[in-house]
Chain A
Amino acid sequence: MSGFLGYLRPDGQVGIRNHVLVLPTVSCANGTVNMIRESLKNITAIFHCHGCGRAGKDFEIHMRTLVNIGKNPNVFAVCVIGLGCEVIKADWIASGISESGKPVKALEIQRNGGSRNTAKKAISICKEFLELAKKENRVPAKFADITLGLECGGSDGFSGITANPAVGVVSDWLISKGGTLILTESTEMIGTAHILSRRAVNAAVACRVENVIVEAEERAKNILGPMASMVIAPGNMDGGMTTIQEKSLGCITKAGSAPVEDVVDYGMHPSKKGLIIMDGPGYDTESMAGLAAAGAQVIIFTTGRGTPAGFPCVPVIKIVSNSRTFGEMEGDFDVNAGTLLEGETLEDVSKRIKGKLISVLNGEKTRAEQNSQEGVICLYTGLPSF
């Protein structure tokens, strides 16, 4: 099999879903977005808690993240809902998204007669978008068109020895097909600067890899002081991880062995293919928002303790590291990699993950999609989060 069936977008990107997205620019618009969702079950609504009271670097991060989530190829059309007096303007977001050539409309609550009237107008816009979306058909596409986001959350002592190495094999396969991988969560690369910079394609990229990891370490030290060497959530401690170096080594194995082609900021769309490192926090929901903005059509998320979270417009494939957690929360996982500890080979486990990935590209719903683990996103701010 050399490819999959996807939705070709006007900018040449290929989506694996066909969402009509309703995107608030500010949390004050969340109520209106909810009214729209209650009337139209087929739209995809995103809620978030930012959009105002931000300046400088934060403003830039929010602008590009919201615009780029709208540009994500899984999104067919976007209805942007603003309030009117916020810092991040609905028209600016809509105008940024329109560069991709997809249908987009913006409405401000203060200019459209309040929340109910705005919802009413938005519902008629979304109905038109949904009709147009129905006319889109899947067409043959290449694996080279895929950007796979890599994520881990609620890791345990098995994540780094089962799920992540198995995903690493799939990562190497996607790279061999000409695809793109995004490895993020800078906090979880602390301690591996010497390994990742060795894999950079040139000295300039190596320097940026080191900078991203050194900055992540400095942020951790500033916030946590003497505890910085243990920047691991208590759950991870319970799971058998002792130091961030241990967790980081287990974490980066999911990106396989490809050279690092480039380093990008949070929520930025990479201009190169191959393995990309995106600067960003270790907090899963913020991290997944950054991956969606970077153009990932699909995310592979490894977990040990069990994390159900998905993302509104990007299917998230959950790989669990051990059979015990799989047995306890089976309905939240797509693949159990814990069988590696029970005698299944790395090759066979990775084949199952690759098979699941290809099915999801072709439209099969992930457990997170089936379980409605979507709706609310967190956006990264200039303030560090872990």
Chain B
Amino acid sequence: MIDLINLTLFQLDALKEIGNIGASHADTALSELLRKKVWISVPEAKVVPLDEVPQEFGGAEKMVVGVYLQMQGQISGNILFFFSQETAMTLADILMKRPAGTTKVLNEMDQSAIKETGTILAGSCLTALSALTNKEIIPSIPYYAMDMLGALVDFIIINLSQNAEYAMIIQLEFSESEYKIDGSFLLLPDPQSLEVILTSLGVG
């Protein structure tokens, strides 16, 4: 099993490159979906101790809306897309074609639209990962929740803690200036899949 704490900068760069290509796909997909120019940050690839994952993304008690998907197939792991409640309301306004500021409560239709956005983002990133590694990856259906960030991520941490003390996280931050949308997209491969990814990128 690969030791996450000993990943080289070279390996982290290779993982960041997955983020880069994923980001350019996601950028296009999200901009088309929202009909707005969405800006995606330079991706980060980082290794974080499991118990520090919530702090890394703004604190355990931060209220967020999250869409979760599992990666299955030859590469497995977790995908979490999360943002503030305000961004969720704005996303719902845009996706449901309502005037800005209309959405006050996220109903089931809004939740479905937000889940769909998560699916599209995850799909574009996984397409990139799949093409780079030549491995088959299947995203699960999307799951939706609104709660404290720490509570939303703890089962991902639990899942990883069976085999590791650290999480390798590829992170994309996206934002749109007109509507002040921003959010985070995290890809957390399982430790055994990380080895598969690095080997197929030629940096194993």
Real binding pair: no
Interface residues of B (CB under 8 A from A): none
Chain A residues near B (Cβ < 8 Å): none
